[in-house]
A = this chain, B = another copy of it.
């Protein structure tokens, strides 16, 4: 598997394939063609074949993909074959929403803790989630050996929080704070800025644009 070669656009599609496979397996579908996978995902069959080819040859020409086999491979490729521990920093409305959202919808990851400065938030919440004060951040990251963090703190404090995360070995950050974060080589930041999402959406909401740029 030459995973390094896979572009971000491909990596973004892997979880989509995984979800489809989960559904198919739930419906006892054992084999799926890239054409059917295409109907389910909305990506072209060729796109799907190309995407998967980055990681190996998983299909049998003519017959298609074995759903369970492909699912196992995808879990390994994405890194979901073992449950991933994550922390949520900032337990305001967004932090709470993300936590609940994730608890309900994502079997592959476990939120091992949330962090906030508001003393009123410092209690066990949602399905036994522990909410810690910010000064417990280093301790929990190291004790739980966490590599992935979701950041929902205010922009003004985001960088100083990130510095603590990096210091303690976090290698991937999903950042909801509307600010540019500085991280060293080897730490991946994905900016999930909802304002940006919304503003670029508005671009497409304009009459001709929607039609012109629909994907």
Contact = CB atoms under 8 A, between A and B. Distances in A.
A214 B185 contact: yes
B15 A200 contact: yes
A109 B198 contact: yes
Contacts of A8: 200, 213, 215
Contacts of A197: 174, 190, 192
A100 interface: yes
Interface string A35-75: 00000111000000000000000000000000000000000
Chain A, interface residues (CB within 8 Å), range: 35 or more
Count identical subunits in the complex. Answer: 2
A106 interface: yes
A201 B214 contact: no
Interface string A1-40: 0011010100110111011000000000000000000001
A6 B204 CA distance: 11
Interface stretch (A91-99, A114-122, A129-137, A156-164): A91-99
A133 to B, nearest CB: 21
Contacts of A171: 204-207, 210
A178 B19 contact: yes
A12 to B, nearest CB: 5
A196 B15 contact: yes
Closest 3 CB pairs of A and B: A172-B205, A15-B199, A97-B97
Interface of A: 3-4, 6, 8, 11-12, 14-16, 18-19, 40-42, 77-80, 84, 86, 92-94, 96-98, 100-102, 105-106, 108-109, 147-148, 150, 171-174, 178, 180, 185-188, 190, 192, 194-215
Given A92-B97, A147-B205, A192-B192, 16 more contacts: A3-B212, A14-B203, A15-B195, A19-B196, A77-B203, A79-B205, A84-B205, A101-B194, A102-B194, A106-B198, A148-B205, A174-B201, A186-B210, A188-B210, A190-B197, A192-B197
